[in-house]
Every structure is written in structure tokens, then in C-alpha cells.
Structure 1
Amino acid sequence: MSGGVEKVAKPRDCNTAYQWIPTDFLVQEAEGGGSSGVRILSYINNLHPEHHEPLYDSIGKIFGHFVPLFERMLSFRADVPPRPAFRVDMYEFEPGHALPRRPAIPDAEKLPKQPLTVSLKGKTLQAIVKIAEIVLTPENPQYAGGAWHIEGTDAEKIVGTGIYYFACENIKDSRLSFRAEVEQPPYQQNDNDGVAAIFGLFNEKLLVQVLGAVQTTEGRCVAFPNSHQHQVQPFELEDPSKPGVRKILAFFLVDPENPVPSTSVIPPQQQEWLEMTQQPLMKKLKLVETVEDTVRSMLRSGMSMEEAKEHRLQLMAERAAPDDNHVADMERYFSLCEH
């Protein structure tokens, strides 16, 4: 058996010129021990905190709804139960011992209910904020679907994702699929049928377990660990004569135990933001023109919108699914080889 090569974008230890900048969120703790809300401590990159103050308030409230989801996600990540002992004797299925039969598969043990062991109350969390939309039109009525991927690079330390689907207008059956990498299981040599029946793995196919999909209806919040590969499934217009749109607000949660430089310490890069701050100061100082020119030449310059768009294209190219020369470094395949 053999399968085609599949390209999957995933965090990797690569030489990158870019890094997403997270924002700091304080999860405020009430006197009774519960959460009393979230306060945004630093600016959201490319979203001016004064010009978009109401939006900051909304984003903070939405992030607050994700806090219990992130607590459960991190608790499960910290307290994964040990793998149960599992062995199927394949001796009678070997040629010459008995007629070929399907192996008897024991019932899976029910996982114990995981208690919440991680509390984020009173902590400062870091998250990369992303707002995105997919627009369909009568001329372009279908979305072909996304690539399998997990978020960010090793430098960003992303441990989980929270997605809020805040608008789904005239969109038909949109889903988000999940799968996870697995370890290579024990198996008898050349036992293709047994391994396929018990583990769902096939020769020369990816070592992944399909986890299912969730329907991404309007108003739904979905949170999942960054160990899960995810893929946006194809969808189309419900009424092909009218346009449709799907909008999301995403939070890429940085590992709370491994913070990275955030907008609390990284100054804004937008030239427009810098000019809005510098011009009132210059007027207040009332410097002569030659002195003002000297001062301006010493100030840090920012980035124009055109430059930012060019850097964005370079970042997207850098993080796209790898080409055939890099697939071997990115993926693990199951191989029924001799041993």
C-alpha cells in the first residue's frame, strides 16, 4: 500500500524573520474566587486603542468567555491519563494457523472525567488576536477549504486556539475538522489488515487519528489545543443568487508558563500611529524649524500600510505548507516494513 504525500503546515524550528505579537490580557479575580472579567493591558497590533475603544471592550468580554474553555483545555493537556495496556494476539491470524478472520477488538475503556487542575484567574495571559472573514459572491459561490495546519512557529509558543464565529450570513454547512498525530503502534510484520482494523492506520499513510468535526454556526465558540491539526472544510452559499460572509475572531493563546515579548514591551510599528503622537508634542514644544527637523530625524520611523502589506505577503509565503523538499522534515508516515 502506498499513499500520496500530503503537505501540512505546522509550527517548526525555522529561520524566520517574522513573529506574531501577542497582547496581554489580565483575568481579574473576584473576591469569591470567580472571574470578574478581563482587562486588556496592552494594545492589539493594528487596532488603535483610542480610535477603537468600544471594540477593545467587546474583545475583552469575548476573551472572558474563552477563559473557562482555555482552563479545561490546559487541564486536559496537563493531566492526560496514562495509556491503558492494550494487546491483541495476532498468532492465530498468521498464515498457516487459521483461516483469516478479523481481529476481535476489545471495547475502549471509558476515560475518567478530568477535573479542572489549571486556574487562570488572576493571571496575565498572552494571546495573538486575529479577525478574518471569507466572502462569497454569486460569481464565486464556493470556498474550496483550507490546509491542515496548527498555528504559529516555535517562537510564538502557541498552546491553543479559541475561535468565535460572530457572523455567518447565507453560508451553508461550514465545518472545522480535527486530527492528531499518533505514535507508531506495535504490529506483526506485514499485518496490513490487522493494523488497519485495530488502529485505523494504513501503510505509507500519515500517522494521524481523525478526531471529527464541529459545525461552525454563528455565535459558537470553539477552543482546542495546538496539538490538534485543524482544517476548514469546503462550504458554499446557501442562496447562490446572493452574497454571503463568514467572520471570525480568533485568539491564539501563548503558553502561560512561557511568555514571549508582547505589545506591553514592543512599541507600535505603524507610522500613522507614531505621527499622531509626535505632532502634538512638536506643537507643544514650539521649536524653531531647524531644531524640529533635527529632532524628527532622531525619532524612530514606523511602517507604512504598503510596507506592512508587503511584509504580510512574505510572512504568508514563509508559513505556507512546505514544498516537496521539506515534507520529510514535517511529517511522519506509517510503514509496514520488515523488523
Structure 2
Amino acid sequence: MSYERHFEYPLSASSRLTGSLALGDLETGQRCYREGRLSVDGGRSLPISLTHSPATERLMYGGEVECIEHLRTSLREMGVELPGSGGRWLPGPLLLGSERTRVTQAGVLDCMRSPAFEEALANRQEGEVVVLPVLREGMKYGLQEAVCDVLGAHCDEVVVDAHHVPDESVPYLGRRMELSVFKDADLTLAQREKVKVAILGDSVASGTVIIGLIEVIKQRFPNVERIELVAPLAAVYGLARIAAFGNEAVPLRAHVFESLLNALPPEYYFSPFFPEEEMHMAKRAYSNYRDWWGVDKAGKPIAETACAGYGWSEAFFNPRKQIAMIDEQLRERHGMGLAEVLGRY
């Protein structure tokens, strides 16, 4: 079943960013893909490839936690007790640390086996593909290893440290990308000129970092023909901004796990799932996710505000901070802490 939805986001007091998202028919199978396109009114469109697999489902929605005792210890240190014993089903935001890294890397490998990626990498020679993991989260994706598995060849890796900072001088965006590290000093000019495909790894909330990096990639790799963005978590809001303000000279396609995310006002950074089941490749998994979070004391579904990524990179690097962030947001938005949600089970 295909699906289309419209979006509208504020850019300033007097202007709006509007457009539509069209998703193709759903495939079925243990590993399958869904193509889509995000179009900005009066601007360009952005092709999207969604991946479903056991790994992507585990990361985005939930599943059995293997390192349950490590999680139990981390929760206890935060004053939260995990009832019961042994393995148990928990939502994706509580997949933490090294276990999250293993699952994410398996999902990225599944993503790179998609028809869209096969097309991008077809007949590419060694030296024509470069991967660019963006610190911190992108370093956990295993991009270089996945390319080796899929392409059967080595590729160069350029580590990038970039983040967004406020800048009111930037029209509409109000923020700009600040680049601290672009680790391509090991590549000669001839090697940089040989690159045809850049695989960029970072999740997307506002899209500001990606907009800035498109410019840098075009400058550093003057013959690049396309950018493949691997973004396990990606909000429609951020992708719409990339489509509206990214450099059109370099075609970009986004590869996302399972489903695109919503973005809640007023800051449009907090990113839960859309509630419509048509947005989800794994409808049963999303239903389980919603059921697990349940409703708050006012009867409001928690899943509609529970950020799919919460701390984004903290989930990989600092599990205790991730837990504290989930607890803080639950208290702020629903008047109940993580301990109370877990206590239901």
C-alpha cells in the first residue's frame, strides 16, 4: 500500500516550509525495502529508501535485551529498578551501549544491501567510494565494514566532527554547521578527485549539519557524483530542510531504518514516531512499541511523544545519561518517571 502525507513547518514568523512525503508500496519479508520521495513545494525532491530487517526493527521499536544485567545495573544507579529477571522485551530507546552498536551495524549492513544502494555502488572501483562517519553517532555505524562486505573492496574513511550552532544571520535556518574535524589529510589531491560516491553517516533531526556537510564534501571531492546518507533515525522536518536548503549540485538520497520520524514543536528537535500505521513497515512491531509505553494518567499515549532516539549519540556512548534523559522527558511531558512505566511490567 502506498501512502502520502503533507507537511508544514515554520521557518520564520512570516514563512513556512511545505511539501509532501510519498511512500511506495510495502514489500514483505524478513529483509525488505520501501522507496519514497520527499518533495518541497517550489523546490527539489529527496529520494528516500527505508529498510526493514530484524536488526532495524530491534533498534527502532524493540526486542529482547541480551545485556539485561548491565542494563539493570545502569538503571539501579539512576534510582530505577527493573522488575523481574532474565531476558525481556524492551523498546528501542533502552537498547544501549555496545549492544546498540552491534544491532545498528547489522541494520546498516542490511540497508546497504538495498536495491537503491546496489545501484549507487554498481561498477564502482576501489578509490571511487569514501565513507564519512559524523562524530559521535556515525562512528558506531560500521560504514567502512559494510561497504567492504557489499562492494568486496576497501574504501577510505574520513572522520568528520561537525555540529550545529545558533547563527541568526543564516536566513530561515537560524543555525549553521560548525566543522571541527574533516580528517582527509591522508588523501592526495588525485585520490580526492577520484571519489564519485560519498557515504555520509549521521542521523537527522534538524538537518543543519548535513546541509553544511554537503558543501564541504563538494569542495573536498570535486568530482563526487552523489551522496548516500545513512541515517538510521531521520525526521521529516530535517529531511525537508535538507531538500529545501542543501546544495542541489550533488544528488543526495537518504537511507533510513523502518520509518521517518515526527518533530514536535516548538523546537522541532524532539522526534517521536508518527502514529499513523501507514508510516511503518513493521506495523506489528510499532503496535507492540505503543502498547509497551501505554498511556499516562491523563490517558495520553506516551509513544506519541517518546523520542525514538532521545539522546541520539548518548544511547551509544553514555547509557546512564540516556536513561536520565528518558526519565526527565517522561516527567516533563507525562508527569511520570521511567520507574513508573517499568513498574507496569
Instruction: Provide TM-score, normalisation by structure 1.
Output: 0.22
Which one scores higher on RCO, CA 8 angstroms, separation ≥ 6? Answer: 1
Greater CA radius of gyration, 1 or 2? 1
